[in-house]
Structure 1
């Protein structure tokens, strides 16, 4: 069988494979972005008149802007891949060399710009979520969030420098100051910091609730492992690490990670907003609500044997069920009222 392999080195062919596979994975990631956008948009729109109308409207604008940015990046990636592998496939060194040499052309600069903008939006949302989760902390919020906010400003500055650099030269070529790795490192540091802070806070709440009262189903919605990963945008932090390590090592694997990261940094905040729209995300009053509910139920358990407790229907319409709590002589009426509200 004839061999039609291009006259290129093994490293050149490997780099081209990684770039092409990255473009395909990016398309898959965009499909996930589209699905989550439709779901989040529907949930937010359906609850727009129920509560917190202004916040839901802001979220609708946010996800729409992020979706537009993800769409522009996907279009840019597809077009640039076509230019490298189809229109200019005979460029000396192959498609990989073309992509390195023409990283600054308008169609690819579009992808770079929307990538940085999307990164800023994602970091800002995660910073806000961290502030919400720590809003009930005993320490002033500015003390806790001061340093992450400074790092966020550093990420904005390094992103601007990155765009200035790639507008004239490729970030994958040696230079005195490579702002691709600087910007990615600062963003990764910010995400890891916020991820650890958010997960740490939720782990503490989970431990306290489980130790003192046990975990109910509703409380696990806030403190489960899955909730922690979504709330902390752990997926984005993992992919950031997946990009920066091979990039720093000079491996062509970063061609996959860089393109996939563009969609992952949109998927992560979309998952958070879906939880917010479903009422499962941590809010400023969550800690007080679940702690008060647990303490109230724990007090009631000490006063009344569980065998004598009957709970009313959730709808509150069924009055035929006897309420053993209200007829128990050792339970004050105030405790009865509290238990009914908790349920």
Structure 2
């Protein structure tokens, strides 16, 4: 008795692509579940603050979460169209996924991911400026972000109007993916290097509790946006070699770009984030030292600088570090 097979008759490469797209929706949903938990924690901490100092961050966190919600919902809907609603599309679901990318659900998913990356990168660039205070670093990062934004707009137009405005040979998908991912990796590198340097310099002047709060490994991972840098690196490598594994990474990357800024906002709301207060409190207060270590030149006198962080009567810094993390920017 012969056994009949119902296996899909497709090339291995095409079959792997379909599997990757299907699994990507589940991975994105898992990332969104984590996003829900983080957003709940952020809103709970902010709303419980009686002084309402963290309420300014609520619209930002809510925008990231809303974009993440719409993104995953539209991605799931596009998959539903391919696998269920229009499964009899000529040449199967893979052809639908490749040829019908101008569907509203897919376009919305693309646009929300672009907006989320712009918001997240802008926030992280401001964090770079806070920690470095180097205008050339900030300007360079914003120029790269602007270039990435322009290419993302062109990419969205190309997806919405395939072969109408641009020639088939001109594709903006790879330049956009490469530039956006490279910006994420660059931001992570800049933040991580600065935080490692500050951790080394401040370890001798911090007490154990404060050191655990600001210089622990989890704190460095969150505040340097390390997960975003790693996922961006994996994504751009896979995408550049046209490996379908990039499809698996991208939904997670989108949610991570919403989660990381929200985790930093959570630390800000808890007064546990790196700020100029903690740097001034822990570093020696002499003008020369501050100029050398922080790259600042406008410090007139030590008294002017110390007035921003009031010491207690016995000169201890314990009362100072409790004030640290109060502000996002000074």
- TM bucket, shorter chain: 0.7 to 0.9
**In the alignment, which residue of structure 2 is the partner of 1:5?**
7
In structure 2, the partner of 1:291 is: 283
- 1:209/1:215 contact within 8 Å kept: no
Task: Tell me the equivalent position of 2:42.
Answer: 40
- Distance in 2, matches of 1:266 and 1:60, equals 13
Partner of 1:341: 319
Q: Is the 8 A contact 2:206 2:282 kept in 1?
A: no
| 1:197 matches 2:190 | yes
Q: What TM-score does the superposition give when structure 1 sets the normalisation length?
A: 0.78
1:24 is displaced (CA, Å) by 0.4
User: If the length of structure 2 is used for normalisation, what is the TM-score?
Assistant: 0.81
Which deviates the most, 145-154 or 114-123?
Answer: 145-154
Gap regions ≥5 residues in structure 1: 136-140, 294-333
**Whole-angstrom distance in 1 between the partners of 2:266 and 2:51:** 16
Match of 1:248 in 2: 240
Partner of 1:28: 30
Q: Map of 1:1-343 to 2, 5 A cutoff?
A: 2-47=4-49, 49-50=50-51, 53=53, 56-135=54-133, 141-169=134-162, 175-210=168-203, 212-213=204-205, 216-291=208-283, 336-338=314-316, 341=319
Question: Structure 1 stretches (4+) deviating beyond 4 angstroms?
Answer: 212-215
SS class of match (2:316): helix
Change (3 A) 1:215 1:95: farther
Q: Is the partner of 2:276 in helix, strand or coil?
A: coil
Q: CA-to-partner distance for each residue in 1:177-224, whole Å, 9 max, x for gaps?
A: 3222211221222222221111111111222233x4476221232222
CA drift at 1:226: 1.9
* CA distance in structure 2 between the partners assigned to 1:125 and 1:18 by the alignment: 31
Aligned residues: 290
Measure, in 1, the Cα distance between the counterparts of 2:318 and 2:108.
57
What are the Cα deviations for residues 118-170 of structure 1, in whole angstroms up to 9, with x where unaligned?
Answer: 111111111111111124xxxxx323312112111112111111111111239
Q: Is the CA contact (8 Å cut-off) linking 2:126 and 2:138 kept in structure 1?
A: no
Answer yes or no: is the 8 Å Cα contact 2:20–2:248 preserved in 1.
yes
User: C-alpha offsets along residues 235-275 of structure 1, whole Å, 9 cap, x if unaligned?
Assistant: 11111122221111111111111222221211111111111
Q: List runs of 5+ in structure 2 lacking aligned partners.
A: 286-311, 322-330
Give the CA deviation at 1:175.
4.4
CA distance in 2, matches of 1:228, 1:129: 13
Give the number of the structure whose alpha-carbon radius of gyration is greater.
1
Distance 2:91 2:98 in 1: 10
Inter-partner Cα distance in structure 2 for 1:99 and 1:125: 33
Q: Does the 8 A contact of 2:132 with 2:194 survive in 1?
A: yes
Deviations 1:51-73 (A, max 9, x none): 6x3xx233100111111111111
Q: Separation in 1 of the partners of 2:115 and 2:138?
A: 22
Instruction: Note if contact 1:12-1:93 (Cα within 8 Å) is conserved in structure 2.
Output: no
Tell me how far apart the structure 1 counterparts of residues 207 and 199 of structure 2 sit (CA, whole Å): 8
CA offsets, 1:38-95, max 9 Å, x none?
A: 1101111112x426x3xx2331001111111111111101111111011222323321
Deviation at 1:342, TM superposition (A): 5.4
Q: What is the rounded CA distance, in whole Å, between the counterparts of 1:340 and 1:106 in structure 2?
A: 56
